[in-house]
Amino acid sequence: MTDMDGAQNGQLPLVVITGGLGRVATVVLPWLRKRYRVRLVDRAVPAGPSELPLVQADIGDPASARDALADADALLHLAGNSSPWQSWDSVYAANVWPTQVVLDAAAAHGVPKIVLASSLHASGEHNRPRYWPVDPRLDPRPCCPYGLGKAVLEALGRTHAGRTGGSVTCLRLGLTGWPLTERRYLGQWLSDDDAGRLTLAALQARERFGVHFGVSANTRNHWDITSARHELGYRPEDDSEALAERAGPASGPVCRLFDPQTSE
């Protein structure tokens, strides 16, 4: 998708961001605003006046999703519950069902480009030394119900791309928007600036369907970002090694993303 695909009357194209008040949206917005008009969608109440158009709605409601995506040239779907400690019922309600709803709304409006926020947890069982760096072409191996939900999200995206002919890119994001305080995250850190670079590249990619890992150019490379570099044009510039001396030991169990041999 080029900068002006879908734009009308000389305007920049419009990207709708679900979860628009969330952590990931906050770090990527400065990059996206260089190339897109932005419409935020979130069920949360903003702390103060929003300088960007904001639709306060539950994206899991079909009518609200259709209204939110009117005139969109692209969709960045970030909404969801990112806790790895969720039950499957919670994952389905917060992550799987809203993804299906928003994809149906995108299909109804003919939105040509969709970027879905997946997670490393979709391949968490591959986070073992014998697989490093993990190839995104391996079959998903979720490490928890949250990761299973992201694997389902990717399958929904693939089905959408095949059914509509649109372009769908799934980004298996690493540690995004959080401080790097623990050594076990050095191999999956995604800096704020690299998150912006990656998301912008994904929105502009023309691939029919793709799944790519989203981490920085880390020395301790656990996840292979070759496909993101070559197929999306992602050019990461940051390395978690610069923060390694300040990173401490693990604070406690997360899920099977880290087994005893890989946790510190």
Active site members = 146
| 90-to-17, 86, 94, 103, 148 alpha-carbon distances in Å | 22, 6, 6, 20, 12
Distance CA 140, CA 120 (A): 10
Distance CA 42, CA 51 (A): 14
Residue the block writes with tokens 């980004």: 171
Distance CA 160, CA 238 (A): 33
Distance CA 193, CA 6 (A): 26
- At 134, give phi and psi (nearest 5°): -65, 130
Distance CA 113, CA 163 (A): 14
